[in-house]
């Protein structure tokens, strides 16, 4: 792959995920912390309207608006659809983007710790994961590579390379000191990685790292009127990336019953009881733990 | 005090505090769990509009609208001001309320555990606290008795007796199994207490219990434009009701500095980093720990 010449760090894609928003403010005052010799860094506050309203989004989830056919549909012009088109002009356009790498900063209410979500498993991404685990062993690598990049609706997918920094637990509209520090630390390592990658100066990386590869999403049970019949079971609450065996309870029903994990594999739940996924009635995502070879 | 003949259990005063809202649904289906022989129980979903919008409130905080002069001001008619007047007709009216006791169910994003906030320190409230601590030792008793009841703007203050069940940590718009169980358990103990009080059947109560009495509220530091300059320090995050000594750091400044607790007493912070208090730039409330004699 060619060098990374232009990097964009994006915060506020969701207006009530505060860590990235506050870090952007700091970095705007101290550009030296995000600048590196071999590439240009742009800082972008993605959805100031949502932040002003202290909400995830005004009309629709900005981070689901970046598929090519949505960006090209001139009939779509609510707040976030318009924003998506603007951002696509600024950092993209998708397919021939001026930005080589987008780092999009997110928070989750789930206890996911400092997670890095990769959307591709090419050499650039895998070495990034290897470097990050070496520098920050507590980091969690999540592979969302079940669909190709061009089918990912995320903001960061408009560049040739895009990653999501996803750190929790942090309630919406709250700024936690520990979560902010994790995000700052991880972002610095990612920028350092790009610099080392560009200058062919990477240290020896581990042969293999632990990672989690997304498999499926579980919904909360509903009745025929769409009313929820249960909630995430206390046995899995806060236990993101801890193993769940087939037959173990994962949902507590309000009538006193339980729903158990019905898959045929040891699953690693994450995004457990994420507040923002209540719109869609999602309970958690599942993953498999893998040993990821680093090229 | 006379017997308690009418009790109202209120949920959804804030539309994104889910525990009370979901418990109300269960109790509506199973009235036997909230009924007791010596009094009538009413269940009220206070702000369905806010719940439908998945937000704390639509126009203004419902739980600050219940001062007498606000209820009597016909010029105040936004969503929550109208709701407040309706609820005051239904459960009040304030000063001559048809409801004897209101139990208002709330969640906090702070790590306050199962807390009961008392607004008065008369025999009824103190014995309630003593009974609750006996039945549920993990319960935390918080006394907000710095102003008399008639100056409290809360929904539950329109009855002669009102208490706030305040349980966390739970992010807004999330339902946690453990938090739901705590709220269910505490509410059942409170109803049992009223039954025992009415029938003069209370068991021997402890002579003294541990409680926390509110002293003051601390704000986050701001610059001249109202932009925040710091956040809750990691040393106090999640340590609600743990002691802080004068001189210990409580705020981390973004420029790397710290603000230390400047009071002249050992303080017990609570509502630490509560999401809903960001509107007002509040960092935490302070309390003193006391030994509360039970009459």
User: Do residues A116 and A231 both lie within one domain?
Assistant: no
- B1 lies in a domain? no
> Which residues of chain B approach chain A closer than 8 Å at the C-beta?
22, 25-26, 54-55, 109, 169, 171-178, 180-181, 227-228, 231-234, 237, 252, 254, 273, 275-276, 278-279
DSSP A34-82: T-BTTBEEEEEE--HHHHHTTSS-SSS-GGG--SHHHHT-TT--SHHHH
User: Do residues B83 and B177 both lie within one domain?
Assistant: yes
Residues in chain A with CB shorter than 8 Å from the CB of B252 are 177
pLDDT confidence tier of residue A57, bands split at 50, 70 and 90 = very high
Q: Per-residue pLDDT tens for A88-146?
A: 999 999 999 999 999 999 999 999 999 999 999 999 999 999 999 999 999 999 999 98
A278 has a pLDDT exceeding 90? no
> How far is it, in rounded angstroms, from Cα B145 to Cα B167?
19
Q: Which of A29, A177, A226 would you mutate first to test chain B, the one with the most B CBs within 10 A?
A: A177
Contact call for B180 and A279, based on CB within 8 A:
no
Nearest by CB to B254, from A26, A228, A237: name it: A26
Report the pLDDT averaged over residues A146-162.
95
User: Do residues B151 and B278 both lie within one domain?
Assistant: no
Residues in chain B with CB shorter than 8 Å from the CB of A231 are 22, 175-177, 180
- Picking from B146, B180, B206, the residue at the C-terminal end of a domain is B206
- A282 lies in a domain? yes
Residues in chain B with CB shorter than 8 Å from the CB of A237 are 176-178
User: Do residues B18 and B81 both lie within one domain?
Assistant: yes
- Picking from A153, A185, A206, the residue at the C-terminal end of a domain is A206
Report the pLDDT averaged over residues A4-31.
97
Q: How many angstroms separate the CA of residue B171 from the nearest CA in chain A? A: 5
A1 has a pLDDT exceeding 80? no
Full residue range of the structural domain in which residue B131 is found:
6-206
Residues in chain B with CB shorter than 8 Å from the CB of A177 are 231-234, 237, 252
All residues at 6 or more sequence positions from A261 whose CB lies less than 8 Å from its CB, including other chains: A244, A245, A246, A247, A248, A249, A250, A267
**Rounded to 5°, angle at Cα A236 from A217 and B114:** 125
All residues at 6 or more sequence positions from B283 whose CB lies less than 8 Å from its CB, including other chains: B218, B219, B220, B232, B250, B251, B272, B273
A270 has a pLDDT exceeding 90? yes
User: For residue A93, what pLDDT is reported?
Assistant: 97
B57 has a pLDDT exceeding 90? yes
Q: How many angstroms separate the CA of residue B142 from the nearest CA in chain A? A: 23
- B111 lies in a domain? yes
pLDDT confidence tier of residue B278, bands split at 50, 70 and 90 = confident
User: Do residues A155 and A134 both lie within one domain?
Assistant: yes
Model ipTM value: 0.94
> How far is it, in rounded angstroms, from Cα A186 to Cα A250?
31
Contact call for B252 and A178, based on CB within 8 A:
no
A293 has a pLDDT exceeding 80? yes
User: Do residues A165 and A227 both lie within one domain?
Assistant: no
Q: Which residue has the higher pLDDT, B279 or B215?
A: B215
User: Do residues B193 and B253 both lie within one domain?
Assistant: no
> How far is it, in rounded angstroms, from Cα A70 to Cα A63?
12
User: Do residues B222 and B179 both lie within one domain?
Assistant: no
Report the pLDDT averaged over residues B135-155.
96
Q: How many angstroms separate the CA of residue B258 from the nearest CA in chain A? A: 12
Q: Per-residue pLDDT tens for B158-208?
A: 999 999 999 999 999 999 999 999 999 999 999 999 999 999 999 999 999
- A66 lies in a domain? yes
Phi and psi at B118, nearest 5°, equal -100, 140
Q: How many angstroms separate the CA of residue B126 from the nearest CA in chain A? A: 32
Share of chain B above pLDDT 90, in %: 97
User: Do residues B194 and B257 both lie within one domain?
Assistant: no
3-state per-residue secondary structure call for A3-29: CCCEEEEEECCCCCCHHHHHHHHHHHH
> How far is it, in rounded angstroms, from Cα A184 to Cα A24?
10
Q: What is the CATH number of the domain that holds B148?
A: 3.40.630.10
Q: Per-residue pLDDT tens for A60-73?
A: 999 999 999 999 99
Number of domains in chain B: 2
Nearest by CB to A180, from B169, B231, B275: name it: B231
Q: Per-residue pLDDT tens for A187-217?
A: 999 999 999 999 999 999 999 999 999 999 9
Contact call for A273 and B180, based on CB within 8 A:
no
Contact call for A174 and B237, based on CB within 8 A:
no
pLDDT confidence tier of residue A148, bands split at 50, 70 and 90 = very high
Contact call for B177 and A22, based on CB within 8 A:
no
Contact call for A237 and B176, based on CB within 8 A:
yes
- Picking from A167, A188, A206, the residue at the C-terminal end of a domain is A206
Q: Per-residue pLDDT tens for B18-40?
A: 999 999 999 999 999 999 999 99
- B35 lies in a domain? yes
Nearest by CB to A273, from B172, B174, B234: name it: B174
Report the SS3 class of residue B77.
coil
- A138 lies in a domain? yes
Residues in chain A with CB shorter than 8 Å from the CB of B259 are none
Q: How many CB atoms lie within 10 A of CB B9?
A: 22
pLDDT confidence tier of residue B279, bands split at 50, 70 and 90 = confident
Q: What is the CATH number of the domain that holds B285?
A: 2.20.25.160
> How far is it, in rounded angstroms, from Cα A197 to Cα A190?
10
Contact call for B234 and A175, based on CB within 8 A:
no
Q: How many angstroms separate the CA of residue A218 from the nearest CA in chain B? A: 16
User: Do residues B121 and B151 both lie within one domain?
Assistant: yes
Q: Which of A54, A171, A256 would you mutate first to test chain B, the one with the most B CBs within 10 A?
A: A171
The tokens for B95 are 């000063």
Peptide bond into A169 cis (omega under 30): yes
- A1 lies in a domain? no
> Which residues of chain A approach chain B closer than 8 Å at the C-beta?
22, 25-26, 54-55, 109, 169, 171-178, 180-181, 227-228, 231-234, 237, 252, 254, 273-276, 278-279
Q: How many angstroms separate the CA of residue A181 from the nearest CA in chain B? A: 10
Locate the chain A residue with the closest alpha carbon to B58: A53
Report the SS3 class of residue B289.
strand
User: For residue A147, what pLDDT is reported?
Assistant: 92
User: Do residues A48 and A132 both lie within one domain?
Assistant: yes
User: Do residues A198 and A216 both lie within one domain?
Assistant: no
- B218 lies in a domain? yes
Q: How many angstroms separate the CA of residue A24 from the nearest CA in chain B? A: 12
User: For residue A2, what pLDDT is reported?
Assistant: 84
Q: Per-residue pLDDT tens for B222-242?
A: 999 989 999 999 999 999 999
> How far is it, in rounded angstroms, from Cα A267 to Cα A285?
9
Q: If you average pLDDT over every residue of chain A, what do you get?
A: 97
């Amino acid at each position: 792959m060619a060098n990374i010449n232009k990097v964009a760090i994006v915060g506020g894609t969701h207006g009530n995920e505060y860590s990235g928003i506050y870090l952007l403010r700091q970095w705007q005052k101290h550009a030296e912390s995000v600048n590196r010799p071999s590439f240009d860094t742009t800082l972008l506050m993605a959805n100031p309207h949502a932040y002003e309203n202290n909400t995830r989004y005004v009309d629709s989830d900005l981070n689901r608006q970046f598929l090519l056919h949505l960006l090209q549909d001139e009939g779509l012009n609510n707040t976030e659809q318009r924003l998506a088109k603007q951002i696509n002009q600024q950092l993209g356009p998708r397919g021939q983007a001026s930005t080589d790498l987008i780092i999009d900063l997110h928070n989750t209410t789930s206890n996911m710790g400092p997670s890095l979500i990769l959307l591709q498993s090419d050499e650039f991404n895998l070495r990034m994961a290897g470097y990050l685990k070496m520098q920050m062993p507590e980091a969690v690598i999540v592979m969302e590579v079940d669909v190709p990049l061009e089918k990912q609706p995320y903001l960061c997918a408009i560049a040739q390379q895009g990653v999501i920094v996803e750190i929790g637990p942090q309630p919406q509209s709250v700024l936690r000191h520990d979560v902010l520090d994790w995000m700052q630390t991880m972002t610095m390592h990612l920028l350092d990685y790009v610099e080392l990658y560009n200058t062919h100066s990477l240290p020896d990386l581990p042969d293999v790292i632990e990672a989690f590869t997304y498999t499926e999403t579980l919904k909360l049970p509903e009745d025929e009127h769409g009313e929820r019949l249960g909630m995430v079971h206390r046995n899995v609450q806060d236990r993101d990336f801890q193993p769940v065996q087939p037959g173990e309870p994962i949902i507590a029903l309000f009538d006193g019953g339980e729903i158990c994990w019905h898959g045929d594999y040891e699953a690693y739940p994450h995004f457990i009881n994420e507040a923002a996924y209540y719109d869609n009635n999602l309970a958690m995502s599942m993953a498999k733990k893998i040993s990821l070879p680093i090229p």
